[in-house]
Amino acid sequence: MSETSLPLAATRTAVTPRSRAARVSLTALQVVLGLFYAFASALPKLIAHPSATEAFDKLGWGHTGMYIIGALELAGGLALLIPLLDSVAATALSALMVGAFIVNVTVVHGPYVATPLILMLPLGLIAWARRGHTAELLRLVRLRTGRGV
């Protein structure tokens, strides 16, 4: 049987040096983004650092909004590090970045307007590349709830 006549499943399971490098690079990207969201983005909000407090007071969201956004960023950052949740986390953090972009454009008018858009690019890559994890998560949820596959 020639390589071109192999079943599709057989061609997908072949591990090439390029695919291994891509997986390692993607995992490294997930770790970097996960740590960024957990520490650089969520932590200042969760410990009520003066810079975060001032920004959220200026928005009119106060401490409650700051803690909610911080908790969402922490949950998303940690979920990026869990293989079964990484695609869902990247999608959720992308949605959060859409909100951050809108707030930056309409309210803040600050120098970091493009930052949420820049963060959405690697998050979108992770969500797409790890979409199989979302399918596996859905399969597990369906099995757990008794709805079958």
Provide the H-helix boundaries in 62-104.
62-79, 86-103
pLDDT for 3 equals 46
pLDDT for 4 equals 47
pLDDT value at 2 more than 60? no
pLDDT digits (tens, 9 = 90+) for 19-51: 999 999 999 999 999 999 999 999 999 999 999
pLDDT value at 12 more than 80? no
**From CA 32, how far away is CA 19, in angstroms rounded?**
20
Per-residue pLDDT band at 7 (split at 50, 70, 90): very low
Q: Which tokens belong to 42?
A: 């969520």
Q: Which tokens belong to 12?
A: 């997908």
**From CA 43, how far away is CA 73, in angstroms rounded?**
9
pLDDT digits (tens, 9 = 90+) for 47-66: 999 999 998 998 899 999 99
